[in-house]
Chains A and B, each alone.
Chain A
């Protein structure tokens, strides 16, 4: 830790925090992946979690996932809420017996001292209606602040997890604000430098928050989005159908491209929702349609090689 240069230390640098977490989980046997190259609402949507959580094979991975929640945009005016933020996602399958200790050590690695802070595991069962997924776990509190989500996946995409995977999700901005002692997310030191070299979170993202808030709430082209939803849904079904190798449906050859379309549909739905053009009753049916896609993709995935065939 002491050999770490100042600008890389988690308590001074947002990127330093990310790199420390990556390093920590790499040391514990994880594959360090890069973000998925599509718009998603949470790190869980990355196929490295959703799909890899299914099937019997071991899988340990960690990655940062930029996450988009169009409805959470606040035009850059709110010190805590963002429509685009980073999650750090760890998936360990099967869940190791010392997963809680591993998690606590990762907090120690980024400077959260368990002898000084009050770290708690508070019940929080996780359910994703769009992914057809649920699990039991906690939100992890540090001095009354939720810093991570901890979930033992029981079911994903309508398929029982066998074995069960443990999922850890760190809200990076919030965690960084805590260790840096900053009240406003835009004041976070991004690169750990001082003076003229310092780049803040606001320097990087404030304009984007303002622009995307305008887009999400006021201008997103709803006619196009409705069309895109239909297209993504149609394409997903088409690829799923075409992917079966032979009539016996024993092997699937295109689960990943099909799942991309499911992700697409989900994000388009979120945009439409933010624009307020989906009524309460319709909302349920859209969620159901995305879930049907996710389930079909899960079913396809377990008939692929990585899915365990």
Chain B
């Protein structure tokens, strides 16, 4: 079976795009081949900075022949229909069609079309130019003379040559004959830009990869990564250091070289006075070099590891010297930034936030910091945090955003705040809270445990959520530009992992005060407007206008958005908090589902009134899950569902509900009386257990209901002929439903 080799040789492809491009190329070509009836044994694609390559082996030499039956018009159909049929099928006359009998609907013509399969190489020659022209680069460009013409080829960077060969292992392969924008496919490629620039000819994948290697190109990105990692580790180890591994950086540098050469350089020890994270960020981001640890101290050593693309004639001495120069300059900058930052106290940076807009509708960063501070101090007592420390931490939490180091390396935000806070003698938990208030950032991030950090972290996230909820910027589908899902999940993790007990609704509601207050001042009751009214009142001497202005100004003065919700906006505020709460519920469901819990149980608990204590919800869900695994649980669920179904039907029939206590005097059967007694008992016990937050006990109490419910359905006919008895029994059924609601809304359980 023949194999296909394809190489697209271009100028340097951005490292971050290479892996996906190789994948796309393989997928696009193989999909198209399969669609053309050309199935294959295997396919693999590769990328280097200068080439995308694809090998597909075990392709058939020809497409299979296609046989197609096309149903035509009835025998004796009008001529127009016959002509249409002949045209569509390519038959010359009806003599070439066969007639199929159909006693019911009448006989009709059938055309048998046979299409001979084409040579695979011809099909490939058609497929590839289309794929090249429609290739999904994140950004593509035009170049050269041809770029002046409409429809010019676009590629990620100028495309220079194409290798495309097709043939059996044992034979000389054929070149697939096509060209794209004047580039003719052939079998000539080039090696390393500097070490082996000469052209050479290739036949098939095996010699292609081997010849490239001889020409100082490692085709397989995984192999380049393996080389870099192994060499870097060895180089560090040989000098008594330990490589700090960095997958993202490894992926990137492996896309910047065709022939990796790992070298080590050093920098002046005095730079080690800069925090290690800053050194690493400087060296990583700007120079794309690795850093190493000194295993004796566990701290960063004054060495770095670089990956060059060339075996230099001096063994790399000039390359190392050059990189050291640049890193020295970069670290000088970083040191200067760090030392400059240390000269300004964090709190002295606060006034600048007045001029920085956080979000057009949510005000400046200063406003946001004030909100977080207020909310954090409100949360502090609920999570056992010292209020004054919390206030301090919240007030300083964002100040490092204005430091030079964070300006240069945004990824060390929070962390630098911690260092600067330490340096100016802040309390330990205050400093730690500055770093931790951003956490947890993702599913694998550390969750803060210090109460002060917890309070500020919760306030930061809940303020963000309440704010974007208030201005209706909620996440939709895949769009979540403000990472609100992550913020909600952060709140959930903070609560659950620290076993925090507090009600989320009042906090979410309170978080809305200053935000709605802001809107109120901005839109509904601008103070300037009141002043204008007074000015006019004075000019025209209208007592009435002056009184009106006074009223409005008075309202402005009297209203403090930190203390209360805008009068008359309570319901908007409540709706906002409720909507936010159901978002938390959704996120909790996702979280619990990932942990293997049933999401319908979460629904069943959330459906109860006033469920906003996340920890209790989770405990209840756990207890409910266990209960429903028992026979008692399953049967009670079945009984409750049956009761609900009957009620639903009868309520619909009678167009009424059957609320209210049943009348004991109307009970006829013993089973009715027993059920009523059981319900009373269970209701009391379950409510009692729930009040003690003992959900297992509440479930055990529920279990007592089961025999009575079973017996009732066994022996008693609900729809009695006596209307009063019937109504009473329906009320009893309603009581079952009501009793179970002490633990969950069973109707939500699937």
Whether both chains belong to one complex is answered with yes
Q: Which residues of A contact B326 (CB under 8 A)?
A: 143-145
Which B residue sits closest to A81, measured CB to CB?
B333
Known: A97-B158, A164-B147, A280-B355. A116 touches B194 (CB 8 A): no
Chain A residues with CB under 8 Å of B332's CB are 79
B319 and A123 form a contact (CB under 8 A): no
User: Is the CB–CB distance between A118 and B158 below 8 Å?
Assistant: no
Which residue of A97, A118, A121, A123 contacts B144 across the interface (Cβ within 8 Å)?
Answer: A97
**How far, in whole Å, are A95 and B326 apart by their CA atoms in the complex?**
31
Nearest A-chain residue to B308, judged by Cβ: A118
Chain B proximity of A174: nearest CB distance (Å) = 10
A97-B160, A135-B141 known; A118 and B147 CB under 8 Å?
A: no
Are A115 and B313 touching (Cβ within 8 A)?
Answer: yes
Chain B residues near A56 (CB, 8 Å)? 148
Chain B residue with Cβ nearest A146: B326
Query: Which residues of B have CB within 8 Å of A136?
Result: 139, 141, 156-157
Contact B141 A154 (CB under 8 A): yes
CB contact list, B249-265 vs A, under 8 A: 256-257
Contact A144 B323 (CB under 8 A): yes
Considering the complex, give the chain A residue whose CB is closest to the CB of B317: A116
> Are B325 and A145 in contact (CB-based, < 8 A)?
yes
B143 interface contact, C-beta 8 A: yes
Is A143 within 8 A of B319, CB to CB? Answer: yes
Number of interface residues of A (CB under 8 A): 39
Q: Could you tell me the distance in whole angstroms from the C-beta of B455 to the nearest C-beta in chain A? A: 30
Cβ-based interface call for B15 (8 A)? yes
Q: Is the CB of B141 within 8 A of A163?
A: no
Tell me the residues in window 1-46 of chain B with beta carbons closer than 8 Å to chain A beta carbons.
Answer: 11-12, 14-16
> A240 within 8 Å of B by Cβ?
no
Which residues of A have CB within 8 Å of B309? Answer: 118, 120
Residues of chain B within 8 A (CB-CB) of A154 are: 141-142
A135-176 contact mask (Cβ, 8 Å, vs B): 1 or 0:
111100011110000001010000001111010000000000
A95-B143, A161-B147, A164-B147 are known contacts. Are A115 and B16 too (CB-CB below 8 A)?
no
List of B residues within 8 angstroms of A97 by Cβ:
144, 158, 160
- Closest partner residue, chain A, to B141 (CB atom): A136
> Do the beta carbons of A279 and B142 come within 8 Å of each other?
no
A58 to chain B, nearest CB (A): 10
A window 233-270: CB within 8 A of B: none
Residues of A contacting B288 with CB < 8 Å?
144
CA distance A114 to B287 in the complex (A): 19
Would you give the 0/1 interface string for B274-312, flagging 1 where the beta carbon is closer than 8 Å to chain A? 000000000000011100000000000000001011101
B102 interface residue per 8 A CB criterion? no
Q: Which residues of B contact A162 (CB under 8 A)?
A: 147-149
- Assess whether A85 is interfacial by the CB under 8 Å rule: no
A116 touches which one: B158, B314, B323 (CB < 8 A)?
B314
| A152→B329 contact, CB < 8 A | no
Residue B318 lies at the interface, judged by CB distance under 8 Å to chain A: yes
Quick check: is A211 within 8 A (CB to CB) of the other chain? no
Please indicate the chain A residues that have their CB under 8 angstroms from the CB of B49 in the complex: 121
Complex contact A163–B322 (CB within 8 A): no
A143 to chain B, nearest CB (A): 3
Chain A residues whose C-beta falls within 8 Å of the C-beta of B256 in the assembled complex: 120, 122
Instruction: Output the residue of A100, A122, A136 with the most chain B CB within 10 A.
Output: A136
Q: Is the C-beta of B484 less than 8 angstroms from some C-beta in chain A? A: no
Q: Which residue of B lies closest to A114 (CB)?
A: B194
B312 touching A115, Cβ below 8 Å: yes
Known: A115-B194, A115-B313. A144 touches B322 (CB 8 A): yes
Q: Which B positions have Cβ atoms within 8 angstroms of A?
A: 11-12, 14-16, 49, 139, 141-149, 156-158, 160, 194, 256-257, 287-289, 306, 308-310, 312-314, 318-319, 321-323, 325-329, 332, 355-357
Given A118-B319, A164-B142, list of 15 further CB < 8 A pairs?
Answer: A94-B144, A97-B160, A115-B194, A116-B313, A122-B256, A142-B322, A143-B318, A143-B319, A144-B306, A144-B326, A145-B326, A154-B141, A162-B149, A178-B325, A281-B357
Q: Which 8 residue pairs of A and B lie closest in terms of their CB atoms, listed nearest first?
A: A143-B322, A123-B14, A163-B148, A121-B12, A144-B323, A164-B147, A118-B308, A162-B148
- Give 28 A-B contacts (CB < 8 Å), ordered by A residue: A94-B145, A94-B147, A95-B143, A95-B158, A97-B160, A115-B313, A116-B313, A117-B319, A118-B310, A118-B322, A120-B256, A120-B257, A121-B49, A122-B256, A123-B14, A137-B157, A143-B319, A143-B325, A143-B326, A144-B289, A144-B323, A152-B142, A152-B157, A161-B142, A161-B147, A163-B147, A164-B147, A279-B355
